[in-house]
Structure 1
Amino acid sequence: RPGRDATIVAYGPSVSVALESAEAAAAEGHDIEVIDLRSIVPFDDETVMASVRKTGRCIVIQEAQGFAGVGAEIAARVQERCFHHLHAPVLRVSGFDIPYPAPKLERLHLPSVDRVLDSVDRLQWNDSADTRWAVTA
């Protein structure tokens, strides 16, 4: 899905969440590009980096827990290869860093459109720092 304001990178079942999120973000005035990674290995560096260089913002979505996952590797690659093109930190929306929940609770664990839209809002559209995650002494 082409867009100009931010890039969402997703794979597998997260692609449908990414596409729904892009549609919902359009209603809020954000034109979001979605990259569907058809494979992790080989990784399509060229497509992902060209998109992020164009939009200047990136969100990576994955169903797995966030710690040490594929999404972390994608975020690191984007940060390393597109650093001077980024207008905001690369953000990740993932499963929570907990043991995988029982089936009845799975929907609360997996990335959702609401969680992705929260990340879209955190992409520093007004060029002011997002201090919600800052550690204070």
Structure 2
Amino acid sequence: MSEYISSFNDIFKAVICHFDFKVKSVGDDTIFLIGNGYQLEFTMWRETVELRFCVVKSNTEVLIYDVGNFIVTYMTNEDRCIDDIIIPKEKSTVYIRNVKSLNYFLNALKHHFPSMLAGQMNWLDSYEKSEWYSQPRIEKRKV
């Protein structure tokens, strides 16, 4: 189970409730927000948080869009303004940086891509035209 799961649940609590997401932790570094037919996959690395939008194609296949850098290009100073009280002080620098990044992604999703949170694809045209576009790929995994 991810060491980030508690902070993740605190950060995304309102979104989890609003969209009726299920939360699933896989390994030490990946957490999914699971909606009806789609998933938002957050992977915490040493230097960054990666975000992927996954369309469930079957019980064993997902179509994956790497949208993290695309979303970052829409982030504003307002999105990066977070309350320091939510940042655990006793954790490592890497942990704190990743928790801040999760907050930034939450704010950017709420402010600029609420449709992505809802599982809609109306952001896809902008993504395909962006410098961060990469061909989506099919991944075999149990959904």
Q: TM-score range by the shorter chain?
A: 0.3 to 0.5
* Higher helix proportion (structure 1 or 2): 1
TM-score (norm 1): 0.43
TM-score (norm 2): 0.41
* Higher strand proportion (structure 1 or 2): 2
